[in-house]
């Protein structure tokens, strides 16, 4: 008996998230259909012009904006950034260095530093446990 394998599909919102693009800025045919795993892989391997443009110029979804600014998504919200931003807008914020951005970047740096400290501590404990 042969096994029938179905094609894995996802909603456009899921595919947009995996591609790191803002769904509402994608072409209508992308938003209105479903995306198979093979189509997603093809988009990642050989992005069409619309995807290249979105990735380069935006508008970008919050996770991408946060990463480009070096802050958390919550930090964006605290700074009043609730809408997608273009690359140009992100660069302008980096140049302006508003107080909230400076504060959130410092907070994010502390979070990363603490995460590294905890990771090192766990590694040291594991190494001691292996020796004992």
Q: What is the pLDDT of residues 13-70, one digit of tens each?
A: 999 999 999 999 999 999 998 999 999 999 999 999 999 999 999 999 999 999 999 9
Q: What is the CB neighbour count within 10 angstroms for residue 22?
A: 21
Q: What is the CB neighbour count within 10 angstroms for residue 121?
A: 10
**Residue 87 pLDDT exceeds 90:** yes
pTM recorded for the entire structure:
0.78
What integer pLDDT is reported at residue 1 of this predicted model? 46
The angle at the Cα of 13, spanning 44 to 31, to the nearest 5 degrees, equals 85
Closest by CA position to 20, among listed 49, 63, 79, 78: 63
| 35 φ/ψ sector (left φ>0, alpha ψ -120 to 50, else beta) | beta
């Amino acid at each position: 008996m042969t096994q029938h394998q179905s094609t894995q599909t996802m909603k456009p919102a899921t595919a947009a998230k995996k591609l790191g693009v803002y769904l509402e800025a994608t072409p209508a045919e992308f938003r209105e259909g479903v995306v198979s795993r093979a189509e997603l892989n093809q988009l990642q391997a050989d992005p069409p012009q619309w995807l290249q443009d979105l990735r380069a110029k935006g508008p970008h979804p919050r996770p991408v904006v946060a990463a480009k600014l070096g802050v958390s998504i919550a930090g964006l919200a605290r700074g009043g950034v609730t809408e997608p931003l273009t690359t140009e807008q992100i660069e302008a914020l980096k140049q302006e260095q508003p107080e909230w951005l400076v504060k959130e970047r410092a907070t994010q740096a502390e979070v990363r530093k603490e995460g590294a400290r905890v990771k090192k501590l766990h590694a040291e404990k594991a190494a001691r446990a292996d020796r004992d």
